Structure 1
Amino acid sequence: MSGHSWLLKLPLGKCKSTFNLEKAVCNHGFFMMAPNRWIPSSKILQRPLRLADNTTSVTVLISHPPDSSFLCVQVYHSQTPSPADQRAILKQVTRMLRLTMRDETIVTKFQSICPEAKDINFGRIFVRPLSLKMLSSASSFAIAGKRKRAKSEKLTTHEANNAAPMGNFPNFEELVNIDESCFLEKFKPILGYRAEYILELVEAVKTGRVSFQDLENSTEEQLCYEQVYQNLAKIKGFGHFTCANVLMCMGHYEIVPADTETLRHIRQVHGMKNCNKKTMEEEVRKLYDKYAPFQCLAYWMELLDRYEYKVGKLSELSSSRYHLISSVLFQEDTSNK
C-alpha cells in the first residue's frame, strides 16, 4: 500500500477450485465495453466501482495471483477507504464475477450436467457490478457527456499511468435530469428506437410504475424464472430477447436470448441450414433443453467457443480488434448463403 492506492483482498472461499479470473471476465461482450478494461498482458481487470455513498466512483484493478485463495483489488482513492467503502467495493466484485454461494452452486450443477463445461472451467458469465437497487443511485458520469468534477478522483502522474480515472455508468438521477431533446440528439443515432424506450423507462421508474426494488426482490426471493420473466415483460420495450438477457444477468439461465446471432449459430455450428426465424425457437429447445435449467449457459459456452475458433482467445485480443468479432462471423454467414 503506497501513495493513493490501497489493497483489498477478497477470499474466494468455496469458489477457489472452480474460479478463474480470465474465464470469469472474458466470456461476454460486457468486458469489451466501457467502463471495463481488460489488460491481456497482466490478466487484470480495470474499471470504476462505487463507494458506499453510491455516488463516488474510484478506479480499481482486479487481479488473481497464481494459486491464491483470494483476489487482489487495488483501489485508487485520495483517502483510505472506510470499512463501509471496502464492503461496498468487495460486494460489487463478488456480484460482477459471480462469487456468491448461489453462483457456485450453479457452476457445479451445470458442470455436472455438461462435462465439457468442467473441462474448460466454464460456468460464470460476466455481469455488471451493481444490483438494480444500487444502480438507481450510483454514478460519477453524466450521460450527456459532462464529467462531475466534484466527485471524480484525481491520481498522481505515476498512478494515472496504471489506473487513470474512468467515467462510469450513468445513474438514475442523471437520466431523470437529462434534457430529453439533448438525449435523443446524442443517442438516437446510436440506439435507434431504444433511446425513446430508455426515456420512457426512466419516467416509469420516476412515477413508480416500475420498481427496481421489486425486480431485485424477484431474484432475492428466488422466484421461478417464469415469474421474474412476467415482471420484466410488463416494462415497455422489454421483448423476449431483452427479458432473456436481463434474466441471464440476474442469474436465471432457463431462456436462451435468441436473435439473428442465434440463428447464425444454429446454421453454422449445428448444420441446420434451413433454420429460420419461425423455426428457431423450436430448434433452440431441441438443442438446449437437455441442459435445463441452464440452457443459456450451454448456448453461451458454444457461442464463446465459436468466437474463439474464429478470432482467437478473447482474453488475448487487443481492444483495437474487438470490432472484428461480429464482422468475421457475419462474413462467414453471408459466404455460406
Structure 2
Amino acid sequence: MSDMEDCCDLQLCLDEIPSTFNLEKAVCNHGFFMMAPNSWIPSTKTLRRPLRLADFSASVVVSISQPPGPSSTVLLLRVHREQVIRMLRLSERDERNVKEFHKVHPEAKDRGFGRVFRSPSLFEDVVKSILLCNCQLSSKRKKRRQEKDGANPVPAEMEGEEVDLGNFPSPKELANLDADYLQSKCKLGYRTNYILKLAMEIEEGKLKIDGYEGVQDAASCRILIKGISGVGSFARASVLMCLGFYDEVPWDSETIKFLKHVHAREGCTKKTIKSDLKEIYDKYAPFQCLAYWFELLEFYERRFGKLSELSHTMYHKVSSSTQMREFNHNHVL
C-alpha cells in the first residue's frame, strides 16, 4: 500500500483478532488517551488525533471508530495505518499477549481488558512517561485548572465537528527549540533538558529508539532504555509496558496509597513496595503490570464512572500530572 493509499478512508480488518478487541476498552484504560493531542468522543465512541505522514511532511487528523455489535470485525478510519496498529496494539504479538494474559487472569478476560492504550510512536510514549514522574499537583494549580476547564464549553472536536488539531511534536521539532522557551511555555522543570536531549540524540542518530520495537526480550530492552537520560525506574517500567513487556509494575507514592486501600497493605512504604508488589502480582507473571493496571482501572471507574463516558472536563480529577497536561496543552504543534 502506498503512502497516498495509506492515508485515505479505509477499513482495518480484524479477522485475526475478532474475539479480544474492543475499541472503547483498548483506548479508555490509560491516562494517555486523556492527553492532547488525543481526543475521545464519548457520544460516538470515536478516537480522534493527528498522525504524521510517513515522510513527516504533514499531519492528518484521524478518526477511528468501530461499528456496533459484539462481532464487529473492522475498524473505520482515515489514517496512517501502522500508527493505528501501534496505538491499539493490533499486532500478532499483542494478540498473543492478550490471550496468554487471559489464561492467568480470567476476570480480565470477562471484562475485555488486555490492551493498554499507547501513542502512535515510541518517542511520544517516552516523553509522556518522563512527564509522569515526580509530578506534584498543588491545590492552587488544581483549582486554576478546574476553573479553566469548567468555564470553557465543550470543544468542537468533542462534538464531532471538524477542527484543526495540533500534533505532538516530533524529535526534529523539539530538537530545534531553546530550553528556556520550552520551559517558559510548558513549565517542565528539570524534565525540560531531558526531553530536549532525547530529541537531539534521536535527530543526531545517537539513539535509535524506533529499533527498540523489534527487541524480543525485556532484559535487552531494559539495557537499551537505561541509555535514555531522565528515565528512572518508574518511567522505565512505563516504557516497557508501552513496548509490550509487562513484568515490571511502575510504582510511585500513588501506588503505595492504592495498595493500602485496595489490598489492605497498611504497612506499605517505599522500602516495602517492591516486595508487596511481588507478593500480590507475581502469580500473573509475566503480566504483572497488566494485572495491576486492571485493578487500577477498576478502582478509578468505581470512583469516577466509566472513563470512556467521562467529559474532558473531568480528566483533571483522574490525572494529577500537571507537567504532562501543560506540555500537551501548550506545545502541540
Confirm or deny: 8 A CA contact 1:60 1:163 kept in the other structure.
no
Residues 200-224 of structure 1 show CA distances to partners (whole Å, capped at 9, x for unaligned) of 2234334444332xxx3343141x2
Partner of 1:102: 93
CA gap 1:239/1:174 in 2 versus in 1, 3 angstroms: same
Partner of 2:44: 42
Confirm or deny: 8 A CA contact 1:46 1:163 kept in the other structure.
no
Residues 121-165 of structure 1 show CA distances to partners (whole Å, capped at 9, x for unaligned) of 1000001012459x9xxxxxxxxxxxxxxxxxxxxx9xx962312
- Offset of 1:50 from its aligned partner? 1.9
Partner of 2:134: none
Report matched runs for 1:122-133 at 5 Å: 122-132=113-123
Partner of 2:18: 16
CA gap 1:69/1:207 in 2 versus in 1, 3 angstroms: closer
CA separation in 2, counterparts of 1:299 and 1:259? 13
Confirm or deny: 8 A CA contact 1:219 1:250 kept in the other structure.
yes
Given the two structures, how large is their TM-score scaled by the length of structure 2?
A: 0.79
* Count of residues in Structure 1 that have an aligned counterpart in Structure 2: 283
Partner SS, residue 14 of structure 1: coil
Amino acid of the residue matched to residue 278 of structure 1? K
| RMSD of aligned residue pairs (Cα, Å) | 2.5
User: Which one of the candidate residues 66, 69, 75 is aligned to 2:68?
Assistant: 66
Confirm or deny: 8 A CA contact 1:219 1:228 kept in the other structure.
no
- Offset of 1:55 from its aligned partner? 2.9
Confirm or deny: 8 A CA contact 2:179 2:193 kept in the other structure.
no
Amino acid of the residue matched to residue 240 of structure 2? L
Give the greater-gyration-radius structure (CA): 1
Residues 185-239 of structure 1 show CA distances to partners (whole Å, capped at 9, x for unaligned) of 222x2x2211121122234334444332xxx3343141x2122111111222111
CA separation in 1, counterparts of 2:230 and 2:76? 39
User: Which one of the candidate residues 39, 54, 57 is aligned to 2:56?
Assistant: 54
CA separation in 2, counterparts of 1:96 and 1:239? 23
- In the alignment, does 2:255 pair up with 1:262? yes
User: Which one of the candidate residues 197, 209, 220 is aligned to 1:227?
Assistant: 220
CA separation in 2, counterparts of 1:97 and 1:106? 13
- In the alignment, does 2:84 pair up with 1:93? yes
Amino acid of the residue matched to residue 91 of structure 2? T
Partner of 1:245: 238
Given the two structures, how large is their TM-score scaled by the length of structure 1?
A: 0.79
CA separation in 2, counterparts of 1:52 and 1:128? 16
CA separation in 2, counterparts of 1:206 and 1:51? 18
- In the alignment, does 2:197 pair up with 1:195? no
Confirm or deny: 8 A CA contact 1:15 1:104 kept in the other structure.
yes
Partner of 1:324: 317
Amino acid of the residue matched to residue 250 of structure 2? P
Confirm or deny: 8 A CA contact 1:59 1:163 kept in the other structure.
no
- In the alignment, does 2:305 pair up with 1:312? yes
CA separation in 2, counterparts of 1:276 and 1:131? 31
Partner of 2:149: none
CA separation in 1, counterparts of 2:266 and 2:122? 40
CA separation in 2, counterparts of 1:17 and 1:171? 35
Gap runs ≥5 in structure 1: 76-85, 136-156, 328-337
Amino acid of the residue matched to residue 231 of structure 1? L
CA separation in 2, counterparts of 1:205 and 1:52? 17
- Offset of 1:177 from its aligned partner? 1.2
CA gap 1:221/1:277 in 2 versus in 1, 3 angstroms: closer
Partner SS, residue 197 of structure 2: helix
CA separation in 2, counterparts of 1:326 and 1:10? 31
CA gap 1:206/1:217 in 2 versus in 1, 3 angstroms: closer
- In the alignment, does 2:107 pair up with 1:116? yes
Partner SS, residue 175 of structure 1: helix
CA separation in 2, counterparts of 1:62 and 1:203? 32
- In the alignment, does 2:202 pair up with 1:205? yes
- Offset of 1:56 from its aligned partner? 1.1
